[in-house]
């Protein structure tokens, strides 16, 4: 299915699990457990103030212990990443992937909540069979899987899940064969059932038997079986039956990155054709500005390797504070610190961004008493010989 031009409103779930700000953590755990949902939005008068996900439950259990005495505001993350309902599906996916989030609230033009979209919604809509039919599980799985003995405690498990941003832990025997699994949803259940479950063992709390797949299995077939069985993760095993990875919706959806690049290329080609058809003489620089602005609404800044600003697109002038970039010769690192990125100089180096690597950073600042934010993507600016000449910054 071609979803390049489809608005996110066609994918989103309109029935949103909402909670008010005055709820306690115990009430929220009860609702998440009863409704079997992975997230709730904290909403007042259709304005989305925060989000609480299963991952937030894991993180707070690790860092604060028992949760029932906490409040809604203790658990929630704010501000919430939102998109307007007319945004293109591929752009929303790219935002989620860059921010490493699994849920996005969808609003109307006035910022009022109208729905929510998750990685699972994207996975179902993009037709996995269309672009992954011949790819095996080993090519998509994450090898960063947490394996513990069944004698390990829930506290040990959630610590590793939080530190490594993993959604589950597998209990294994001495040959790494799976005995059971403890997932984020299980952590919600345990926090609902116990004041502090961190002292319990995996053997007493894990679920089994574990659903597995071989690393050589066709990804298309495996994802189809996951969808039919309504499961979100599988242990991936090797020829010895030992766990060598994990396959979740996140790993499969992450494979859309290549499709997003193709999508942008198609949009650029459409812009080029339109410009050629008008027979208007356009400089290469101006053409690039038009393409980037039309395709992704991006402000463009380039610097030399010392961080001195050499070029900025006109779009930086239309956004408060991003106007700081509109000064050729200025130290870009000073600007980035002013916009909330304190360690920009350490993160923006040719070594850190070599071989096409990207760095995505959220900038946040106050202007006229209002909080504002922008997503910044940084890469190396290279010449025809692939030699680094500076930095390219794209801000949305």
pLDDT at 278 over 50: no
First and final C-alpha spacing in the chain: 27
Average of per-residue pLDDT across 201-225: 91
pLDDT at 352 over 80: yes
Query: pLDDT tens across 45-87, in order?
Result: 878 888 999 999 999 999 988 898 899 989 998 888 888 999 8
Average of per-residue pLDDT across 171-180: 97
Query: Phi and psi dihedrals of 100, rounded to 5?
Result: 60, 45
The CA distances from residue 168 to 145, 156, 164, 279, 316, in Å, are: 8, 12, 10, 57, 42
pLDDT at 287 over 70: no
Spatial CA neighbour of 393 closest among 300, 264, 310? 300
Kindly give, in sequence order, each residue whose CB lies less than 8 Å from that of residue 349, ignoring residues fewer than 6 positions away. Answer: none
Which of these ranges, 194-203, 278-287, 294-303, 339-348, has the smallest mean pLDDT?
278-287
- The partner residues of 203 in beta bridges, in order of sequence, read none
pLDDT at 4 over 90: no
Q: Going by DSSP bridges, is the β-strand pair 168-172/147-148 parallel, antiparallel, or unpaired?
A: parallel
The CA distances from residue 268 to 97, 115, 289, 314, in Å, are: 21, 30, 11, 19
Average of per-residue pLDDT across 281-302: 53
DSSP H helices in the chain? 25-35, 54-64, 72-75, 89-99, 119-125, 128-132, 137-140, 154-164, 184-193, 202-205, 219-229, 249-254, 257-277, 284-296, 332-338, 344-347
Domains in the chain: ranges and CATH: 8-118 (3.10.580.10), 130-254 (3.10.580.10), 298-395 (3.30.450.20)
The predicted structure's pLDDT at residue 279? 43
Global confidence as pTM: 0.61
Kindly give, in sequence order, each residue whose CB lies less than 8 Å from that of residue 317, ignoring residues fewer than 6 positions away. Answer: 323, 326
For the chain, percent of residues with pLDDT exceeding 70 = 81
DSSP 195: S
Average of per-residue pLDDT across 126-152: 77
- CA angle at 387 for the pair 386 and 390, rounded to the nearest 5°: 115
Kindly give, in sequence order, each residue whose CB lies less than 8 Å from that of residue 228, ignoring residues fewer than 6 positions away. Answer: none
Query: pLDDT tens across 234-271, in order?
Result: 999 999 999 999 998 777 766 555 444 454 445 545 55
pLDDT at 277 over 50: no
The CA distances from residue 170 to 89, 151, 203, 301, in Å, are: 33, 12, 11, 45
Query: pLDDT tens across 100-131, in order?
Result: 788 889 998 888 889 998 887 877 665 544 44
- The partner residues of 88 in beta bridges, in order of sequence, read 7
Q: How far apart are CA 220 and CA 215, in angstroms?
A: 13
The predicted structure's pLDDT at residue 307? 92
Do residues 310 and 302 make contact, with C-beta atoms less than 8 angstroms apart?
A: yes
Kindly give, in sequence order, each residue whose CB lies less than 8 Å from that of residue 384, ignoring residues fewer than 6 positions away. Answer: none
- Which position has the token pair 């925060």? 50
Tokens encoding 203: 């053997």
Spatial CA neighbour of 395 closest among 78, 98, 5? 98
The predicted structure's pLDDT at residue 27? 95
Tokens encoding 335: 């600007």
Q: Return the percent helix, strand and coil in the chain, to nearest 5.
A: 40, 30, 30
Which of these ranges, 31-45, 154-168, 323-337, 356-370, has the smallest mean pLDDT?
356-370
Helices (H) and strands (E) in the chain, counts: 16, 17
Which of 93-107, 195-209, 363-377, 378-392 is modeled with the greatest confidence? Answer: 195-209
Do residues 107 and 85 make contact, with C-beta atoms less than 8 angstroms apart?
A: yes
The predicted structure's pLDDT at residue 260? 45
- Is residue 12 helix, strand or coil? coil
pLDDT at 177 over 60: yes
């Amino acid at each position: 299915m071609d979803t390049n031009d489809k608005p996110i409103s066609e994918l989103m779930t309109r029935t949103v699990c909402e909670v008010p700000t005055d709820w306690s953590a115990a009430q929220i755990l009860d609702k998440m457990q009863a409704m079997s949902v992975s997230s709730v939005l904290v909403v007042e008068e259709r304005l989305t103030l925060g989000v609480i996900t299963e991952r937030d439950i894991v993180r707070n259990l690790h860092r604060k212990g028992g949760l029932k005495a906490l409040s809604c505001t203790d658990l929630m993350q704010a501000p919430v990443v939102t998109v307007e309902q007319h945004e293109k599906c591929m752009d929303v996916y790219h935002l989620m992937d860059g921010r490493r989030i699994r849920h996005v609230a969808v609003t109307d033009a006035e910022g009022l909540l109208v729905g929510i979209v998750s990685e699972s919604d994207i996975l179902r809509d993009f037709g996995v069979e269309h672009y992954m039919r011949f790819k095996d599980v080993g090519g998509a799985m994450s090898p960063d899987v947490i394996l513990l003995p069944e004698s390990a405690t829930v506290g040990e498990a959630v610590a590793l899940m939080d530190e490594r941003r993993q959604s589950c832990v597998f209990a294994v025997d001495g040959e790494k064969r799976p005995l059971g699994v403890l997932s984020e949803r299980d952590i919600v259940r345990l926090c609902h059932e116990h004041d502090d479950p961190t002292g319990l063992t995996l053997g007493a709390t894990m679920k089994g038997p574990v659903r597995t797949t071989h690393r050589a299995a066709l990804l298309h077939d495996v994802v189809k079986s996951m969808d039919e069985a309504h499961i979100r993760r599988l242990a991936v095993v090797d020829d010895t039956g030992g766990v060598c990875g994990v396959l979740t919706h996140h790993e499969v959806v992450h494979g859309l990155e290549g499709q997003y690049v193709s999508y942008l290329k198609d949009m650029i080609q459409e812009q080029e054709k339109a410009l050629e058809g008008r027979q208007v003489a356009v400089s290469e620089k101006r053409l690039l500005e038009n393409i980037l602005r039309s395709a992704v609404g991006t402000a463009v800044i380039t610097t030399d390797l010392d961080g001195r600003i050499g070029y900025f697109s006109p779009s930086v002038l239309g956004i408060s504070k991003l106007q700081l970039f509109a000064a050729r010769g200025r130290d870009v690192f000073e600007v980035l610190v002013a916009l909330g990125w304190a360690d920009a100089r350490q993160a923006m180096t040719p070594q850190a961004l070599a071989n096409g690597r990207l760095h995505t950073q959220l900038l946040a600042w106050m202007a006229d008493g209002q909080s504002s934010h922008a997503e910044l993507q940084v890469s190396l600016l290279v010449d025809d010989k692939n030699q680094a000449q500076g930095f390219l910054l794209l801000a949305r």
